[in-house]
Amino acid sequence: MSKVYRDSPIGNASHFNFENYADSLSKIILNKDNKTPFTVAINGKWGSGKTTLMRTLKNKLDESTLDKQTRKVKTVWFDAWKYSECDSMLAALIREILEEMERKGLLDKLKSKVLVGSEKIDVLKQMSDLAKILTLGNGPELEKWTRKTEYQNKLSFFDLFQDYMKTILQTFVLEKTEGKYTDNDGVMVIFIDDLDRCSPKNIASVLESINLFLDQEGCFFIIGTDISMIAKAIDAQYNGIKDFSGVDYIKKMIQLNFDLPLLKDDHIRSFIKDELKADSELDPYLDIIVKGLKGNQREIIRFLNSLNLMRILGESLKGELGYEEELLIKWNILCFSSPKFTDEIKGNQKILFEIQNIARMDDEKRDEAISNFKKEEGKEEYYDYCKNEKIVHVLSSGEEQFEETNIGTYLFLSSIAPKEIELDTSSHEYEIKPRADLRGADLREADLRGADLKEADLRGADLRVADLREANLKGANLRGADLRVADLRKASLIDADLREAKLRDANLKGAGLLNADLREADLLDAGMNEVDLAWANLKGANLTGASLIGADLLEVDLTGTDLTGSNLRGVRNLFVEQLSKVKSLSKAKLDNEILTNIVNTKHPLAAKVNPIDTVAASTASVRGRLYAGTDLNNIIGSDDNDFIEMNATNFDGFVFGEKLKVYGGSFINDRNIMKGGLAYETQIKQIDFESGAWGDSYNAMGLFGDKYIPLKKNTPDKLTKLLLDNGDKYTLRVGSALELPNGYELTAKQIDVSGDKVWMELSRNGEFIDDRVIIAGDKTRGTWIFNTNVADEIGVEVMRVHVTNIFQGQVDSLVVVEGLWLIDYKDVLEIEIGNKFGKLEVESIGSNVIVMKNTCTVTLSKDNTVDIAEGMKFKVADSNNLKFNLIRDKH
């Protein structure tokens, strides 16, 4: 009666068809005709059995025997979440491989095999060193490692890594040190589990590490994860990169996606009876349990543990109350599957009895009773419960019924159960409305975009990876809520209580946090660009690595706040007195003006700031990835099809679909890029309007880091600069003008408050362009779209403006604009084949694409800056080895 079940992933396979799935996957891996590298994703939600299937597959591979069609296999198990604090996930993965070899007694063979020059080396240490090198970036630590002679003798770090991996595969998989290795003879299968339990930063690190192996013959990866959650985490990690898609990033890595199917009813019955060996007392009620709960082994275990707890409590209070087994099971199922319903019952037990009566009617009478129930005054809100299949199934099954004389027993037993016995509520439906009681609600990955949750009680709610863009959370209580990786862009959190909330890796760009209470909140690596934090309380908050570019910090309490490594460039209303109270500013990025005030004065804060660690915001250029090697052939490759590519994912100076490639082979010689070896390409992309008022998109393209709009739909030979695309809110008084870039102005000429109308005028440098009467809030007439002929193109859209509200202030009438889009149609860039941009010449203008190539040799001379085009340059280090990166002058 007091049995407690442990959620173990091993040994459950036979009850969920996992044996068959593992057989199929093992045949793919063992078949010597299937080439590597290869990646399989075992995709499933929380508790769906990913680890169970992977363990089953691993056991099968470990026990496999060779025949003519199969190959040798060695397996390695990597629990990604255990290394959540590791600096290098690659180093951790390599360490796991070498430790598995050591357990198999093969590490000594490897040590005897691997040589550098004529000296034996410490393989464990050298591979660890390599992992550090490949994840160091461009700092002084990289310099330290590159001075090691054993690495200088190799063509590149990556080549050295690949060499070591080939030796490891031969020694580990084939258990021999001589001869040539191919994946036809054997493969190493690396299982990566619980990736979705890692932070977005470490998820990205693991996937980047896998990418390094994807050129290595002999490696087979099995990744257990929830792909939708991983994609959102990757999006959050790279949220500053335009046109980046986490889904697309993952698709490129995975060759086979295996979606775990939902468990069938008979599999769940078998699991409860045969695997868990549940009490025989449950046998008569298995049908109710199976249909009442969702097909998830973890929820079943938690349900049974909760049920046994209530049984124990019931037995201990036997003299005071009695219970029926059937009703206890039914009540526990309802608590798991429909917690909102059981909460309603606590305040109105008659609702349970009425819905129970309806549930036990035959179908024809039930439909009529439900229809009548809906019409009764005061019962409309309970109508959905009558239609809920799980509630109806539970209440209609069995012989026992809930009555006024017994319901108190089950209400009492569930109320005194310890709170640590959590219920999985991921399938529950919650009422999303202002002042809703959502304490402890499971809203993971919920789509709550634009939801009105004003003054809602969300204490302790699980909102991980939830979409809360533009949600109204004004005055909401989110104390202790879990908002990790949540998307809160432009959400209203004014006056919200976020004390001790978990906001790691959350995206809060443009959110309103005016007067919010964020004491002791965890905002590590959060994206907080352009956030309004005026009068907010950040006392004791952790903002390590957070980005607050352009945020408003007026009167913000920063007492004890950890700002280590945070980005505070361009913040407004930040003063030295506020910073004097912070816990740490080490390696924070500060504007030069603030940094100078701190360091060059005798202010007490100067003792806290290490000017060497603190990085002042650069005003000179944007820098891309550093490329390093002996020469260009070493860095790129000896084939004409080899290339390195700079794009928006690795260079912040590019936007939309811009790419700059440097080709290898005959296109390069030492430090010289020969004619045609430098190729710039930009494409027309579909971009969503920033304002949610329009819900559509527009054509745009990048050109050397600037945003342009093509005047023709598919041919980018006439371009004009994009000046504005935002959904920000502006309030104008009657007669006042909103100043826009390049001399444009938007003026509220007249405002009719009673008619919700405003007469607006567009002008440039004082010259009238056009005007329009706009009806505020109207779906169609609330937006003014101005079209005109531009450079012989007819009906070009030049501006959009959306008006949301008109009201009477204390003195003047006011209009609220929320949505602006504008191009500089007076300045058109016409592009033809043969046009030159610096060292690049336009080679072709195709459908949606422009391609340019260099017409003369580009030499990457030591300690030099080489102009490419329009502010794009290669910066070359003062080094005998070639080290360079792409930079762009800031405009």
pLDDT tens digits along 706-730? 999 999 988 899 999 999 998 877 7
Question: In terms of pLDDT, which residue wins out, 260 or 476?
Answer: 476
Give CA–CA dist 679/869, Å, rounded.
Answer: 12
Is residue 594 very low, low, confident or very high in pLDDT (cuts 50, 70, 90)? low
Best CA proximity match to 494, nearest among 478, 464, 508, 515: 515
* Residue 520 confidence (pLDDT): 92
What amino acid is encoded at 105 in this protein?
Answer: G
Strand 615-616 relative to strand 621-623, pairing: unpaired
Domain boundaries, the chain: 36-63+70-259, 265-415, 621-684+834-889, 718-828
Is residue 633 very low, low, confident or very high in pLDDT (cuts 50, 70, 90)? very high
Give CA–CA dist 828/721, Å, rounded.
Answer: 8
pLDDT surpasses 60 at 562: yes
Mean pLDDT lowest among 113-117, 177-181, 616-620: 616-620
Mean pLDDT lowest among 348-357, 376-385, 801-810: 376-385
Question: In terms of pLDDT, which residue wins out, 617 or 559?
Answer: 559
* Residue 667 confidence (pLDDT): 96
Average pLDDT over residues 683-708: 91
* Residue 596 confidence (pLDDT): 55
pLDDT surpasses 50 at 132: no
pLDDT surpasses 80 at 358: yes
Report the sign of the C-alpha dihedral through residues 114, 116, 121, 126, in that order. Answer: negative
* Residue 162 confidence (pLDDT): 67
DSSP character string of 364-386: HHHHHHHHHHHHSTT-GGGHHHH
Burial (Cβ within 10 Å: 0-12, 13-18, ≥19) of residue 319: exposed
Question: In terms of pLDDT, which residue wins out, 303 or 645?
Answer: 645
* Residue 428 confidence (pLDDT): 44
Best CA proximity match to 762, nearest among 803, 804, 822, 707: 822
Average pLDDT over residues 815-827: 91
Question: In terms of pLDDT, which residue wins out, 24 or 243?
Answer: 24
Average pLDDT over residues 335-350: 81
pLDDT surpasses 80 at 786: yes
What amino acid is encoded at 844 in this protein?
Answer: S
Average pLDDT over residues 56-72: 88
pLDDT surpasses 80 at 319: no
- The counts of H helices and E strands in the chain are 24, 34
Q: What is the pTM of this model?
A: 0.43
* Residue 151 confidence (pLDDT): 40
Mean pLDDT lowest among 37-41, 610-614, 697-701: 610-614
Give CA–CA dist 798/790, Å, rounded.
Answer: 9
| Mean pLDDT of the chain, nearest integer | 80
Give CA–CA dist 538/551, Å, rounded.
Answer: 14
* Residue 619 confidence (pLDDT): 40
Give CA–CA dist 529/570, Å, rounded.
Answer: 10
Mean pLDDT lowest among 279-288, 491-500, 554-563, 734-743: 279-288
Whether omega before 37 lies within 30 degrees of 0, making that bond cis, reads yes
* Residue 118 confidence (pLDDT): 36
Give CA–CA dist 812/832, Å, rounded.
Answer: 52
pLDDT surpasses 50 at 87: no
Is residue 617 very low, low, confident or very high in pLDDT (cuts 50, 70, 90)? very low
Per residue in 184-216, pLDDT tens?
889 999 998 878 777 777 777 778 777 766 667
* Residue 890 confidence (pLDDT): 63
Is residue 491 very low, low, confident or very high in pLDDT (cuts 50, 70, 90)? very high
Question: In terms of pLDDT, which residue wins out, 98 or 701?
Answer: 701
Is residue 240 very low, low, confident or very high in pLDDT (cuts 50, 70, 90)? low
Is residue 393 very low, low, confident or very high in pLDDT (cuts 50, 70, 90)? confident
The CATH number assigned to the domain with range 621-684+834-889 reads 2.60.40.4190
Task: Rank 135-149, 272-286, 294-308, 787-801 by mean pLDDT and report only the highest.
Answer: 787-801
Question: In terms of pLDDT, which residue wins out, 607 or 351?
Answer: 351
Task: Answer yes or no: are the C-beta atoms of 448 and 429 closer than 8 Å.
Answer: no
Options 3.30.110, 3.40.190, 3.40.50, 1.10.3470; which CATH number does 36-63+70-259 get? 3.40.50
Best CA proximity match to 591, nearest among 533, 529, 532, 549: 549
Mean pLDDT lowest among 106-110, 291-295, 333-337, 536-540: 106-110
Task: Answer yes or no: are the C-beta atoms of 571 and 554 closer than 8 Å.
Answer: no
Question: In terms of pLDDT, which residue wins out, 248 or 92?
Answer: 248
Residue 158's SS3 state is helix
Is residue 849 very low, low, confident or very high in pLDDT (cuts 50, 70, 90)? very high
Give CA–CA dist 775/283, Å, rounded.
Answer: 66
Mean pLDDT lowest among 202-206, 473-477, 578-582: 202-206
* Residue 139 confidence (pLDDT): 36
Average pLDDT over residues 417-436: 55
pLDDT surpasses 90 at 308: no
Residue 692's SS3 state is coil
Average pLDDT over residues 278-303: 72
Per residue in 862-876, pLDDT tens?
999 999 999 999 999
Average pLDDT over residues 519-524: 92
* Residue 673 confidence (pLDDT): 97
* Residue 279 confidence (pLDDT): 65
pLDDT surpasses 90 at 784: yes
pLDDT surpasses 90 at 861: yes
* Residue 96 confidence (pLDDT): 78
* Residue 5 confidence (pLDDT): 53
* Residue 263 confidence (pLDDT): 66
pLDDT more than 70, % of the chain: 79
User: Domain 718-828 sits in which CATH superfamily?
Assistant: DU1608 C-terminal domain (2.60.98.40)
Average pLDDT over residues 768-789: 88
Is residue 497 very low, low, confident or very high in pLDDT (cuts 50, 70, 90)? very high
* Residue 418 confidence (pLDDT): 42
Per residue in 664-678, pLDDT tens?
999 999 999 999 999
Task: Rank 258-267, 320-329, 407-416, 643-652 by mean pLDDT and report only the highest.
Answer: 643-652
Structure tokens at 403: 């009555």
* Residue 320 confidence (pLDDT): 56
* Residue 421 confidence (pLDDT): 34
Task: Answer yes or no: are the C-beta atoms of 94 and 172 closer than 8 Å.
Answer: no
